[in-house]
């Protein structure tokens, strides 16, 4: 039993290691309509567009990862979206983001 757990822990750490070594520090221009972020519907539409842009960029940033690429891309997207939503500073967009994180 111990060997199985140790092997599983080692495998997990080897897959997760690239995620922690990966850099999410890149600059990216995000196009959005500030006026649209003032309404719930507009904020949802803008969030969807922004998230798609961020996800594509994160995938491109980590395309050379052979193991754990999907995990690293997901982590990058989540971290970058946190930064983007904070930078845009729209209450409605923040609500959409919080709902996405909770759900």
The answer to which of 1-5, 30-34, 94-98 has the lowest mean pLDDT is 1-5
Longest dimension (CA), the chain: 58
Q: Which domain holds residue 67?
A: 2-102
pLDDT of residue 103: 78
Q: How many domains does the chain have?
A: 1
| 21-52 residue pLDDT tens | 555 677 888 889 999 999 999 999 999 999 99
Q: CA torsion, points 53, 38, 90, 99, in degrees to nearest 10?
A: -70
The number of residues in the chain equals: 103
CA atoms within 13 A on the CB side of 101: 14
């Amino acid at each position: 039993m111990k060997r199985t757990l140790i092997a599983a822990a080692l495998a997990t750490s080897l897959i997760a290691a690239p995620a922690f070594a990966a850099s999410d520090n890149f600059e990216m221009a995000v196009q959005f309509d500030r006026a649209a972020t003032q309404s719930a519907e507009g904020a949802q539409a803008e969030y969807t567009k922004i998230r798609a842009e961020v996800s594509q960029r994160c995938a491109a940033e980590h395309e050379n990862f052979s193991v754990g690429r999907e995990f690293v891309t997901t982590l990058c997207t989540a971290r970058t979206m946190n930064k983007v939503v904070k930078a845009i500073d729209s209450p409605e967009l923040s609500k959409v983001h919080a709902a996405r994180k909770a759900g």
